[in-house]
Structure 1
Amino acid sequence: MTTLTAARGNIDLMSQDPNKLVLTTNRSGWVWVVLLAVVGVASAWDAAARGFGGLAVTVVVWMACIGWFVALIFVLPSLSMDAGGATVRNVLVQVRVPWARLKDARNTMFLEVVPDKGLPIKVWAAPQSVMRRKRQSLRNRAAMDVDVAEDPAPKGDLAAGLIVERDRALSAARKKPATTAGAVTTTFLKRDWGIFAGLLVLALVSLLLT
């Protein structure tokens, strides 16, 4: 297992698992989900207290539907890394890129994961603003003028951190290369969007109760 130490200095939000890092979207996504839940529960409670049970159910179902949609767009997309490779979860699909298939990573409008074959994969969880890219460019230039042997990935550079972890993982897996090999796989998030579709149907049906 790799230690994933280089990326720890370059990724702000991560899991507590020492063998896995998770980059998520802005925490404001969770704020919106929690806010919707609070508003929904309060509104449903008020409607039920006034004797409008059907309206209370409708409010709960609609808030659940909207909250899940917000989570799919702003909360659940992520970039995770483990000893075997990197996994990019976007809004509609999840792409697994084994380390042996990772050709490059770069910062454009989004962090992009570039496999050895196929198109680059944009990481929706890692948008790169123009100001952020300019600041990082200046930091990287400054880092070239000092000794960076201990940390080859400049702080804040997600793409560089990803490449460092790839190289470390491949080096650690020399005796068992199969752990970092395999095909790039794309999986459509049928279950997650199926849940949203189910909630939407329930929400539409709940209108009949009002």
Structure 2
Amino acid sequence: MSVGDGLIGLPVTDSVPVERGDAARNRALLLAAARRLIDERGANTVTMDDVATAAGVGKGTLFRRFGSRAGLMIVLLDEDEKTEQRAFMFGPPPLGPGAPPLTRLIAYGRHRLRFVWDHRVLLADANTDPHMRFNAPATLHRTHVRMLLAAAGTTGDLDAQTQALLSLLDADYVTHQVEDLGHDLDRQGDAWESLARKLCGS
């Protein structure tokens, strides 16, 4: 069984409850309004009040549906997350199954860095809710990295090593590296690869 096969039983992302009537319409209106505002102004300037006003619904409806601004951000990320997760679970190598585990781990890190940079504001907002760090999508990423480390023959505490690698992909950390230190994504990808090789004994 390949590493990709081992993930088939895990959810690709959080499931969305079936909705009917006003609830479904309000959800669609809110998401469309949020995406439009983010495209126009950038995610960091959009407030929950802005989204509710643009959608023409009450602010209470917005909070009941998504819980918090972080909850809204994670739902907006959902479609892009699904595409990325399918790529590393089922797509072609070196990101997907078919390449050696270390090769896949290096490809995953470089690919994820670009995803994090492109979605840095949404990810940073979502991460303000500690529960979001341990939801189904986050667990899938953690499981994927841990399984690749194990398949590459890594010894020691795999959970700690997984966390060490994933800390390099934190949205705030990646943004700090680029904007404050001038370390572009290629340089950060090299750092990921260096740590991955050391952990895998390469």
What is the TM-score with the length of structure 2 in the denominator? Answer: 0.28
What is the TM-score with the length of structure 1 in the denominator? Answer: 0.27
The structure with the largest alpha-carbon Rg is 1
